[in-house]
Amino acid sequence: MTTTLVEAPAEPVTKARDEAEVRRRVHHEADVVIVGAGILGCALAVALGKQGRSVLLLERSLKEPDRIVGELLQPGGVRALEQLGLSDCLKDIDAIPTRGYDVIYHGVPVQIPYPKLEGSSSVSEGCAFHHGRFVMKLRQAAMDCPNVTVVETTAVSLVTSPHTNQVLGVDCTTNGSKDCYFGQLTVAADGYASKFRKEYHPHTPKVKSKFFALELIDAELPMPNHGHIVLSDNAPVLLYQIGTHETRALIDIPENLPSASVKNGGVKGHLRNVVLPSLPKSVQPSFLAALEKNQLRSMPNSFLPSSTNKTPGLVILGDALNMRHPLTGGGMTVALNDAVIVRDLLSPENVPELSDTKKVLKQMSAFHWKRKNSASVINILAQALYSLFAADDDNLRVLQRGCFRYFELGVIEGPVGLLAGLIKQPLVLFWHFFAVAFLSIWVMISEDPLYMLPVNILRSIAVFWTACVVIFPYIFAEMKA
Ligand SMILES: Cc1cc2nc3c(=O)[nH]c(=O)nc-3n(C[C@H](O)[C@H](O)[C@H](O)COP(=O)(O)OP(=O)(O)OC[C@H]3O[C@@H](n4cnc5c(N)ncnc54)[C@H](O)[C@@H]3O)c2cc1C
Ligand SMILES: *[C@@H]1O[C@H](CO)[C@@H](O)[C@H](O)[C@H]1NC(C)=O
C-alpha cells in the first residue's frame, strides 16, 4: 500500500502529539477526517488542529487547482479568514484588493463602494486572486499545522457501522490501491459535485444557468479595484481583475438561450455577436482577444438549500452542503464563516469528545440555525439578484430598472453591506428588497406617459407579485430544517 504523505515540518513536539501523528500516518486514525482540501476543508482542518484535535485532511489532487471559481473574496470572507488566523493566505499571491462594485446598466455606471470600516474613514476591502494560488496557501497552512496530516487520496465511499448507521470514516483509493481512514467525526467537504450528498443530503442542486469564463490579458476596466457587473438585455456579465495582468470575465448563459444555439454559432457566437457589443468599450479588445484564443471554460451555477446534518459521525459542509448563484461571489465567504461557527460549536469546551455523537448532532442542529444570519442573507440575495439581473420578462425588467435606480439614489450601504457579507441580518435584506420593488413600481409609473396610468396600475400588481415570486421561495428554503 503506497500512501503519499505530506508531513508538517519537524519541530519540538509533545509525546502525545507525536503519538497522534503516528496514529494518523500509520494507522489512518484521527479525531476528524476531512474529505476535500478546498476552501472549507483546509480552513476547518487548521481551526480544529489549533484546538488540539488530531485531523486527517484528504485531497484527491494536491496539485495547484486551475479553476474559474472562487476568485473574489468579499470583505466578510476576509474577516472570517482573520478570525481563523489565516489572513496570511492572501499574501504573496498577486491578489488585487477590491473596494466595491461598478454596476453598469445599459452603459450607465454607478459606483457601489463597500461600507466604511467601523471607526475608520477607509472602506473595508475584499480581495480577488487566482483561486488555485489561494487554495495552495490554505493547504500549506494545513500542512504547517502539527496536528493536521494532509494525504493525497480519493475518497470513494463512507465506512458505516452495520448496526447503527454511524459513519466511521472513508474508503479511499490511493494510487490505484484501496485504503481507508477512520475518525470520530467525518467531514464531507468535497465541493459542488459531492459524492456523498446523494445519500446523506435531502436536496439536489438546481442549475438554471452556466457561467462561461474567459481570462482577459491587460484589460482596461472602467473602475480599477472594483468588481464590474454589466447589465444589458442579456444575462449579467462579471468582470474583475484577479492578478497584475489577468482579468476574469464570467458570462452568465441561461439554459436553452436561443442566441447561444448551435444554429446561431453556439456560445462563441453569442459571446461575439451579443455579449461583446454590450461591454464597456475599453474592455472589448481584450475580450475579443481572449475569445479568439478559444479557451472558453464553464461551470454550472447551482442552487442548493442547506439541511441539518442528522447522520451520526458525519458532517457535510461547504458547497457539498449549500450553494447559491455565484453572481455575488458569496460561496467562499459562506464556507469560511461556517468554518468559524463549526470551530466554536465543536470546541473541546463544548464537545470534549467528538465520539459523543449525540452531543455533536445537537451542536450541528444549532449550527444549522446559527449560520442562517450570515448564510441566508448571502443565499437569498444571490438568488433574488440573479433573477433581477438576468430579467427575462417585462415585470422582472421593471424590477431590474428599479434596482439600478435604487443604487443611483445612493441607497448603497445597506445592499452592499449585505452583499459583502458584513451585515448579517436577513430582515435588512427583506426591507431593501421590497423597497426596491416599490421604487420599481414608482419608476415605472412616473417614467411612462400619463395615459399609461390605468394600465400601469394593473401592472403594479403584476410587478409586486413577481417580486414576491422572486424572493419568497428562497426565504422559505432558508426556513426549513
Ligand atoms: C462559476 C463560479 C464562480 C464562483 N465565484 C466565486 C467567487 O468569486 N467568490 C466566492 O466566494 N465564491 C465563488 N464561487 C463559489 C466557491 O467557489 C465555492 O463556494 C467554494 O469553492 C466552496 O468551497 P468548498 O471547500 O466547499 O469546495 P471546493 O473549494 O470545491 O473544494 C472541494 C475539494 O474537494 C476535493 N475533492 C472532491 N472530491 C473528492 C474526493 N472524492 N476525494 C478527495 N477529495 C475530493 C476537490 O479536489 C477540492 O479540492 C463560485 C462558484 C462558481 C460555480
Ligand atoms: C496541537 O495539539 C496539541 C494537543 O494535542 C495542542 O496542545 C497544541 O496547541 C496544538 N498545536 C497547534 C500548533 O495548534
Nearest CA owner, ligand 1 atom 26: 318
Q: Closest Cα to residue 24, out of 157, 136, 146, 140?
A: 146
Rounded Cα gap, residues 348 and 338, in angstroms: 17
DSSP 240: E
Q: Is residue 51 a contact partner of residue 347, using CB atoms and an 8 Å limit?
A: yes
Rounded Cα gap, residues 109 and 394, in angstroms: 22
Rounded Cα gap, residues 123 and 95, in angstroms: 17
pLDDT reported for residue 21: 92
Nearest CA owner, ligand 2 atom 10: 52
pLDDT reported for residue 301: 97
pLDDT reported for residue 1: 44
Cell of 290: 481572449
pLDDT reported for residue 13: 59
Rounded Cα gap, residues 436 and 418, in angstroms: 14
Region 172-183: what's the mean pLDDT? Answer: 95
Region 23-52: what's the mean pLDDT? Answer: 96
Q: Is residue 323 a contact partner of residue 192, using CB atoms and an 8 Å limit?
A: yes
pLDDT reported for residue 123: 78
Residue 244 has pLDDT above 90, yes or no: yes
Nearest CA owner, ligand 2 atom 7: 52
Spell out which residues line ligand 1, taking CB within 6 angstroms.
35-41, 58-61, 68-73, 154-155, 189-191, 195, 211, 299, 301, 318-320, 326, 329-333, 335
| Confidence category of residue 148, pLDDT binned at 50, 70, 90 | very high
CA 326 to chain centre: 6
Rounded Cα gap, residues 258 and 267, in angstroms: 10
Region 200-229: what's the mean pLDDT? Answer: 97
> Of the bound ligands, which one is closest to the alpha carbon of residue 148?
2
pLDDT tens for residues 61-113?
A: 999 999 999 999 999 999 999 999 999 999 999 999 999 999 999 999 999 99
Best of 332, 336, 337 for a ligand 1 pocket test (most atoms within 8 Å of beta carbon):
332
Nearest CA owner, ligand 2 atom 3: 52
C-alpha pair distances (Å), 142 with each of 44, 148, 150, 341, 392? 9, 6, 7, 18, 45
Residue 5 has pLDDT above 70, yes or no: no
pLDDT tens for residues 102-143?
A: 999 999 999 999 998 777 777 799 999 999 999 999 999 999
CA of 52 from ligand 2 middle (Å) equals 4
pLDDT reported for residue 192: 97
Name the fold adopted by 206-303. Answer: D-Amino Acid Oxidase; Chain A, domain 2 (3.30.9)
Residue 11 has pLDDT above 80, yes or no: no
Nearest CA owner, ligand 2 atom 14: 50
> Of the bound ligands, which one is closest to the alpha carbon of residue 337?
1
pLDDT reported for residue 7: 56
Name the fold adopted by 11-66+132-204+304-372. Answer: FAD/NAD(P)-binding domain (3.50.50)
Q: Is residue 160 a contact partner of residue 111, using CB atoms and an 8 Å limit?
A: no
Rounded Cα gap, residues 124 and 118, in angstroms: 9
Ligand 2 atom with minimal separation from the 16 CA = 5
Q: Which residues pair with 314 in a beta bridge?
A: 186
Best of 13, 15, 17, 145 for a ligand 2 pocket test (most atoms within 8 Å of beta carbon):
17
Residue type, 45: A
| Confidence category of residue 6, pLDDT binned at 50, 70, 90 | low
Nearest CA owner, ligand 2 atom 2: 52
Rounded Cα gap, residues 200 and 255, in angstroms: 28
Region 312-333: what's the mean pLDDT? Answer: 98
Numbered ranges of CATH 3.30.9.100 in the chain: 206-303
The whole-chain average pLDDT of the chain stands at 94
Best of 154, 159, 192 for a ligand 1 pocket test (most atoms within 8 Å of beta carbon):
192
| Confidence category of residue 8, pLDDT binned at 50, 70, 90 | low
Q: Is residue 146 a contact partner of residue 258, using CB atoms and an 8 Å limit?
A: no
Residue 179's contacts (CB-CB under 8 Å, 6 or more residues apart) are 1, 3, 28, 153, 171, 172, 173
Rounded Cα gap, residues 210 and 326, in angstroms: 10
pLDDT reported for residue 177: 94
Q: Closest Cα to residue 251, out of 269, 233, 239, 266?
A: 239
Q: Closest Cα to residue 371, out of 338, 344, 329?
A: 338
Residue 10 has pLDDT above 70, yes or no: no
CA of 227 from ligand 1 middle (Å) equals 20
C-alpha pair distances (Å), 31 with each of 52, 290, 399, 430? 10, 47, 50, 41
3-state SS class at 97 = strand
Buried b / exposed e across 352-384, counting CB within 10 Å, b at 16+? Answer: eebeebeebbebbeebbebbbebbbbbbbbbbb
CA of 332 from ligand 1 middle (Å) equals 8
CA of 248 from ligand 1 middle (Å) equals 17
Region 15-39: what's the mean pLDDT? Answer: 93
pLDDT tens for residues 357-414?
A: 999 999 999 999 999 999 999 999 999 999 999 999 999 999 999 999 999 999 999 9
Q: Is residue 73 a contact partner of residue 125, using CB atoms and an 8 Å limit?
A: no
Q: Is the CB of 50 under 6 A from ligand 2?
A: yes
Residue 9 has pLDDT above 60, yes or no: no
CA of 38 from ligand 1 middle (Å) equals 6
> Of the bound ligands, which one is closest to the alpha carbon of residue 46?
2
CA of 304 from ligand 1 middle (Å) equals 14
Antiparallel, parallel or unpaired: β 154-160 and 100-105? unpaired
pLDDT tens for residues 410-463?
A: 999 999 999 999 999 999 999 999 999 999 999 999 988 999 999 999 999 999
Question: Per the confidence metrics, is the pTM higher than 0.85?
Answer: yes
Numbered ranges of CATH 3.50.50.60 in the chain: 11-66+132-204+304-372
Residue 12 has pLDDT above 80, yes or no: no
Rounded Cα gap, residues 346 and 368, in angstroms: 13
pLDDT reported for residue 17: 85
Compare 152 and 7 and report the one with higher pLDDT: 152
3-state SS class at 213 = strand
Please give, one letter per residue, the 3-state secondary structure of 49-82.
HHCCCCEEEEECCCCCCCCCCCCEECHHHHHHHH
